[in-house]
């Protein structure tokens, strides 16, 4: 990773922040973006304290103009772009029948269209370096999760989009990685949108039993180095993907019963 230029969206916390440190420790130059300027400045100070070369840029990936500026500024500053990590994302928690459809649109704009914008405008530069495009997806992209229909849809869309892009780039030398963490200890659940699109502000799962963001970032770093095609993390995640492919009816029941146990779940317990 020495002297590589890495753009990480949504890097002011969680997996994105952990990725900035993971790649930075490998002597890459890091460009981080996020919507909160205060959070970005905090991460930037921490990166500086560790001697990591970086650039912090405020950007909302759901806005095409912000993403164009992010990529343009990266090229102006570093002159190249080697790795794009599409990490920015939000989640939601509500039954469809109770939800304002605008919630799903907002999730899709950030999780899916943010990936489309960043990949599209970074691609000409990544083609020159024969670099990597990474999508931080989710097990929910393979197996839809009840009470998270919008989130599941956005990650399934990302999966299909990047698979198509990978095939388009088959003979170009560009690497495309789809990384799918299971439940990870990040802020994403605390910032989940409720049925009206408001931030819920609490997690409904036991965070102590989840993979840490730092461990997740280390796995993704190794996968980029090895130019892997797919990365499915956690034993639970691998089980879900395998079982959903071969025993989808059974998985409907298992997933329902599992998520019905969450705190304040609207699903009726079997």
Which residues participate in catalysis according to the annotation? 151
Cβ pair 136, 89 in contact under 8 A: yes
Between CA 147 and CA 194 the distance in angstroms is 10
Length in residues, the chain: 270
| β partners of residue 48 | none
Between CA 261 and CA 241 the distance in angstroms is 21
Nearest one of 174, 232, 216, 178 to 22, comparing CA atoms: 216
């Amino acid at each position: 990773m020495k002297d590589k230029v890495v753009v990480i969206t949504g890097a002011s916390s969680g997996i994105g922040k952990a990725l900035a440190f993971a790649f930075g420790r490998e002597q890459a130059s890091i460009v981080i973006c996020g919507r909160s300027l205060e959070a970005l400045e905090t991460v930037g100070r921490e990166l500086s304290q560790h001697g990591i070369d970086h650039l912090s840029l405020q950007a909302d990936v759901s806005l095409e103009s912000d993403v164009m500026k992010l990529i343009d500024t990266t090229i102006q500053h570093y002159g190249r772009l080697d790795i794009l990590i599409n990490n920015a994302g939000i989640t939601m928690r509500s039954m469809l029948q109770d939800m304002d459809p605008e919630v799903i649109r907002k999730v899709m704009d950030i999780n899916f269209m943010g990936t489309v914008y960043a990949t599209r405008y970074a691609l000409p530069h990544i083609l020159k370096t024969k670099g990597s495009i990474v999508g931080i997806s989710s097990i929910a992209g393979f197996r839809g999760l009840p009470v998270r229909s919008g989130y599941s849809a956005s990650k399934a869309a990302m999966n299909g989009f990047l698979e198509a892009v990978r095939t388009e780039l088959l003979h170009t030398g560009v690497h495309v990685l789809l990384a799918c963490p299971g439940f990870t200890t990040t802020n994403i659940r605390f910032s989940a949108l409720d049925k009206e699109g408001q931030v819920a502000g609490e997690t409904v799962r036991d965070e102590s039993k989840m993979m840490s963001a730092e461990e997740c970032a280390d796995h993704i770093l190794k996968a980029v180095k090895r130019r892997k095609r797919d990365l499915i993390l956690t034993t639970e995640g691998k089980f879900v993907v395998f079982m959903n492919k071969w025993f989808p009816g059974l998985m409907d029941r298992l997933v329902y019963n599992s998520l019905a146990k969450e705190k304040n779940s609207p699903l009726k317990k079997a």
